[in-house]
Structure 1
């Protein structure tokens, strides 16, 4: 049977993860300047994101510039853009289905249909969380690989930006929330839920019927 508490908890976690994922998608702090050796004292810090790059001066002034051409970007950044946007759109669709399918709303009168809609919403949320996790992990892998590569010059090395850590948390919230929403939306009448028959099938009634036949 559908559990309202699990449904609401899963939906709330998914909403928080969705908002956090949207912020991470827009943040430019995916890659930040790495301080290596004599480069610890620099006049500016470079931030690189999916949509723009920013330069932070030592005076605190921030100058940001959107990438001129999408086709000129590396293939991994183009894939990261596509996956993050697709994940956010799937979360928006799942949120609409989740609001309709949770037990405490009255959008649909049939309980079995509401439960199925909520389970579909939870499954789409889980898939969206996984799709969002892929570009985060891939970007982190590329940053770590280039950081320890001796053939990459020190000025071109980057470190993990704060946006990646927030992205990991956001994707985890979406995955956990989608799982809770799916698990708490079992349609009524599924195997495993106890059912109790009426008093007509009691042992005494069954015994009397057997005697009648004899």
Structure 2
């Protein structure tokens, strides 16, 4: 029961990491405008994401525009797209495999395949968390390098957005869920199937003598004993001999 609870905990942590990864992938808040130097105009704010670029006005209006060309995007943005999409797909695969491998489900119950399935789902959660972590770390490094570049105009500098922090939290949740599932599944030994030796002699059925006593031996009735013909020895003994009549 304790191992089942640990598996459920790891699975729900992985699901939270998966949900956070999807939200971070779709949000445009990966890079936000940095108000430094002479760029202190707060009437508008620019945000860049993996799929769109948005402008926020002080009146509360959002204007977003999707990137029209995929090939015209920078290489780091293309790589971030691919890695985040792979992280989401891996999380979906991890969820499906983990559900089949957990002890609380009926799939392949009592089979030795149960524990390897749960372990495979845990490894998929770990891979998904690593992909997300690599992406947000790469984006953080690019933002920091551009921010401290003295040759870059202050109006083109950005800060780390909310989606990046959400990506860090999602990666940590996925990694934690994968580690918990690995720990709960690695120490479990698969139960060997029951083997019946056909060469083993089967034991005879139990005797029922103590329940049904044996039948008594057959004895002919006394009245039928005199109907049998007497033997020759008895005839000779009674005074009649065959030699007297031959």
* TM-superposed deviation, 1:39: 1.8
* TM-score of the pair, normalised by structure 2: 0.75
| Residues 107-149 of structure 1: CA deviation (Å, up to 9, x unaligned) | 1123431111000100111011101111100000000000000
Higher share in helix: 1
Please tell me whether residue 73 in structure 1 is matched to residue 68 in structure 2. Answer: no
Name 1:148's counterpart in structure 2: 148
Could you tell me which runs of 5 or more consecutive residues in structure 2 were left unpaired when the two chains were aligned.
Answer: 192-246
Number of matched pairs: 190
Are 2:103 and 2:109, in contact at CA under 8 Å, matched by a contact in 1? no
Could you tell me which runs of 5 or more consecutive residues in structure 1 were left unpaired when the two chains were aligned.
Answer: 191-214
* TM-superposed deviation, 1:182: 1.1
Name 2:178's counterpart in structure 1: 178
Are 2:38 and 2:154, in contact at CA under 8 Å, matched by a contact in 1? no
Please tell me whether residue 90 in structure 1 is matched to residue 90 in structure 2. Answer: yes
1:7 is paired with a residue whose SS is helix
Name 1:18's counterpart in structure 2: 18
Name 1:116's counterpart in structure 2: 116
Q: Distance in 2 between matches of 1:137 and 1:169?
A: 12
Name 1:207's counterpart in structure 2: none
Are 1:2 and 1:185, in contact at CA under 8 Å, matched by a contact in 2? no
Are 1:44 and 1:56, in contact at CA under 8 Å, matched by a contact in 2? yes
**Structure 1 ranges of 4+ moved more than 3 A:** none
Please tell me whether residue 157 in structure 1 is matched to residue 151 in structure 2. Answer: no
The structure with the larger Rg is 2
* TM-superposed deviation, 1:169: 0.3
1:176 is paired with a residue whose SS is helix
2:72 is paired with a residue whose SS is coil
* TM-superposed deviation, 1:189: 5.7
